[in-house]
């Protein structure tokens, strides 16, 4: 296992007075072991203990590297997984369970009296993952470089009459050409009034003159995600659309300017939201300002008015204000940032200038 990351998780377990823990989230197990596997209905669990008695539970059908740095406990289909777990856990102590551990394994473990009591302990891993180490930061940069290159190539491929689905397919093709491993999420492409619909799924809507073109895309590289949104216009842009675009850009850049260790997430959100509200569009900014990102596109923690936590160096999250006018238009501008010692590094270099495509 990655010893530094393991020590971070064990440190949070100690802080929360959790002597032992079961981790079943595949991305959390990957974070600690470098081994990523999605087990479907079979049990896949990493047991951590304050005593160092760590073990990983694996089905014989899994293809597993020889050295994971942790003792392997194998089981085959038909074996009682809960009994195997209960043979390892300390029945006289509290047991932390992550939020993804299926009830079909947890309830039998409880019947075996696998611990004195149980608690949800995901935050011990979530807190550790929230601050990216140098290796993770470089992987985030690499994924964002591919995303930037994709977005940079898109304007010349956009033409009047094409559909949202066609443009989404072009994004996927570009990712393959640029060396991405996959997507963080399905490309979100929205033309005209569709851009005002939250998380609109691409359909056969055809692009026409005067439409806004909202493009929210993300790829993966070496198991780490990227995410970026830009909004363009076709052939013309109205004064109303220009006003909205400039407001969203101001909100995006103002929020990024206040990021530094010690600032509260809610205050970053407020910085962007106040700009949009002052112009009369408060009801049209319908979502939080951002979300944390890393191995998963949406990780624990967000940039919202409800989050009073202070940001720390190494955290990575999105800044994505938007204004959405139903039946008319929608604009969102999104970057990813990594918090530095005295500010932030903006991972996306793609221009935020208002672009009207010919």
Domain boundaries, the chain: 3-129, 131-357
Tokens of 241: 């659309």
Q: Shortest CA distance to 338 belongs to which of 184, 126, 143, 132?
A: 132
Same fold, 3-129 and 131-357: no
pTM of the complete model: 0.95
CATH of 3-129, one of 3.40.50.720, 3.10.20.30, 3.10.20.90, 3.40.350.10: 3.40.350.10
What residues of the chain score a pLDDT lower than 50?
A: none
Question: What pLDDT shows up at residue 201?
Answer: 95
CATH code: domain 131-357 is 3.90.230.10
Contact 189, 219 (CB under 8 A): no
Strand pairing report for 219-221 and 290-292 = unpaired
Kindly state the helix (H) or strand (E) to which residue 310 belongs, with its residue range. none
Gap between the Cα atoms of 238 and 230, Å rounded:
18
Beta bridge partners of 331: 323
Can you give the pLDDT at residue 2? Answer: 96
Alpha helices by DSSP H, listed for the chain, are 3-15, 26-33, 81-86, 103-111, 122-130, 134-153, 164-178, 239-257, 265-278
pLDDT, position 198: 81
DSSP 216: E
User: What is the pairing mode between strands 212-217 and 228-234?
Assistant: antiparallel
Summarize pLDDT for 119-143 with one digit per residue, the tens.
999 999 999 999 999 999 999 999 9
């Amino acid at each position: 296992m990655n010893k530094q990351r393991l020590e971070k998780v064990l440190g949070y377990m100690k802080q929360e007075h959790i002597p032992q823990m079961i981790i079943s989230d595949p991305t959390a197990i990957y974070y600690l072991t470098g081994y990523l596997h999605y087990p479907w209905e079979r049990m896949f669990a990493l047991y951590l203990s304050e005593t160092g008695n760590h073990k990983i539970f694996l089905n014989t059908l899994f293809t597993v590297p020889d050295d994971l740095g942790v003792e392997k406990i194998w089981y085959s289909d038909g074996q009682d997984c809960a009994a195997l777990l209960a043979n390892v856990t300390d029945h006289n102590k509290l047991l932390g369970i992550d939020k993804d551990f299926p009830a079909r394994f947890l309830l039998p473990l409880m019947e075996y009296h696998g611990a004195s009591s149980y608690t949800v302990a995901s935050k011990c891993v979530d807190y550790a993952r929230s601050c990216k180490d140098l290796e993770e930061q470089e992987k985030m940069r690499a994924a964002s470089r591919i995303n930037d290159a994709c977005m940079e190539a898109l304007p010349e491929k956009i033409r009047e009459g094409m559909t949202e689905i066609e443009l989404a397919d072009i994004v996927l093709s570009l990712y393959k050409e640029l060396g991405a491993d996959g997507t963080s999420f399905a490309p979100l492409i929205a033309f005209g009034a569709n851009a005002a619909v939250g998380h609109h799924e691409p359909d056969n809507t055809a692009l026409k003159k005067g439409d806004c073109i909202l493009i929210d895309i993300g790829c993966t590289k070496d198991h780490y995600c990227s995410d970026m949104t830009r909004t363009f216009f076709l052939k013309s842009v109205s004064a109303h659309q220009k006003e909205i675009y400039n407001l969203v850009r101001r909100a995006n850049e103002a929020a990024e300017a206040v990021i530094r260790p010690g600032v509260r997430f809610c205050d970053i959100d407020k910085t962007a939201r106040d700009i949009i509200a002052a112009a009369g569009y408060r009801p049209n900014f319908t979502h939080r300002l951002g979300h944390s990102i890393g191995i998963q596109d949406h990780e624990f923690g967000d940039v919202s008015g409800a989050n009073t936590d202070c940001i720390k160096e190494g955290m990575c999250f999105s800044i994505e204000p938007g204004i959405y006018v139903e039946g008319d238009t929608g604009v969102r501008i999104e970057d990813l940032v990594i918090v530095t010692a005295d500010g932030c590094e903006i991972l996306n270099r793609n221009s935020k200038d208002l672009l009207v495509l010919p």
